[in-house]
Amino acid sequence: MGVQLGDLIPRRKIGLKDLSGKALAIDAYNALYQFLSIIRGPDGRPLMDKQGRVTSHLSGLLYRTANLVEVGILPAYVFDGEPPRLKRLEITRREEVKRVATVKYRKALEEGRMEDVRTYAQATARLKDYMVSDAERLLSLMGVPWVQAPSEGEAQAAHMAARGDVYAVASQDYDSLLFGAPVLARNIAITGRRKLPRKNVYVEVEPEMVELQTALKQLKIDRARLVYLGILVGTDYNPDGIKGVGPKTALKLVTQYGSLQEILEQVEDRGSFPVDPEELVKLFLEPKVIDRYKLRWEAPDIEGVVAFLCGERDFSEERVRKALERMGPGLRKAEGRSTLEKWFG
């Protein structure tokens, strides 16, 4: 879900080439869920190999990563670790959404309502352990670094960006800003033409950039108040937020009052928080992260990738080789523009 701050946060359109020569920490689970949701057949089923193993995530990871590297972007994927205790409610909610969507998908398929089939199928996406292992294996073979976060992947990615080890966090969610990411790059993994659900309308999804300091300056708040704002609107840890408090009202409240406790005292119908709000503030401002990780980009092991994707997962060898070949010039381009020699082996 992510915190819904799109109506308040200033952002600007960019092209992928604007990020050439820069390293991006990509929220791996966020990207893989997108691939699992979008890369599906006409009947809503994900791509599979001959043994029935899902491969949509591998297809998306291969071609999107190759596209990024081709233009000189250095992706580093960050995988979630153990979810925070505060996230249990959201995890339960998501499972219920998938359960309901699965029932609706099967009924729509039986009745031949193919538009509904695709819509419901996207909401059923589940990221299983073997998919994560497959993704990590593919990235290693492609010479692309990945980092195992101790907890939230977005928090770790934001930490890496704040340290200057990467230029930005690439994610769809604005949560990265609450975690302190100085720059957020959105729509990096899903650029292109997309059809709006239940409408015969297509939109062009373009990359966009959000700068934390620019956003804070425009909103006239600091990062702590941005966290308060997110909590009022609703985060993954308190999905419902505060009843009757939208982004604009939340901004007014955090501007007028100095602490979250003072703000909550002004709300007549605050309901009951599923978690301690002060503990939630601490989770964003002092997340569980690590400093020990390696970011090193190397030429892909072409034969290793072919053996894995084509020999084990039934991919087209011609398409896989072409995708990998496109990465070479991009790596050289990124190396030429980068001043961080530590990035390359």
Question: Is CATH 3.40.50.1370 the classification given to domain 12-219?
Answer: no
pLDDT at residue number 268: 63
pLDDT at residue number 258: 80
At residue 234, does pLDDT exceed 90? no
CA nearest to 6, candidates 168, 229, 228: 229
Q: At a CB cut-off of 8 Å and minimum separation 6, what does 120 contact?
A: 44, 101, 102, 104, 105, 108
At residue 57, does pLDDT exceed 90? yes
What SS3 state is found at 111? coil
pLDDT at residue number 72: 93
Contact yes or no for 33/42 (Cβ under 8 A) = no
Please state, as a whole number, how many other Cβ atoms lie within 10 Å of the Cβ of residue 74: 27
Q: What is the mean pLDDT of residues 200-222?
A: 87
Per-residue pLDDT band at 341 (split at 50, 70, 90): very low
Q: What is the pTM of this model?
A: 0.86
Tokens encoding 286: 């002092």
Domain boundaries, the chain: 12-219
pLDDT in tens, 263-302: 888 876 656 667 788 889 999 999 999 999 999 999 999 9
Please state, as a whole number, how many other Cβ atoms lie within 10 Å of the Cβ of residue 183: 23
Of 104-113, 186-195, 278-287, the range with the lowest mean pLDDT is 186-195
pLDDT at residue number 99: 79
Of 222-236, 237-251, 276-290, the range with the lowest mean pLDDT is 237-251
β-partners of residue 23 are 74
pLDDT at residue number 340: 46
Q: What is the mean pLDDT of residues 188-200?
A: 60
The mean pLDDT of the chain is: 86
pLDDT at residue number 192: 59
β-partners of residue 209 are 12, 185
Q: What is the mean pLDDT of residues 75-98?
A: 81
Of 81-90, 161-170, 213-222, 242-251, the range with the lowest mean pLDDT is 81-90
pLDDT at residue number 200: 58
Of 95-104, 111-120, 302-311, 333-342, the range with the lowest mean pLDDT is 333-342
Q: What is the mean pLDDT of residues 303-321?
A: 97
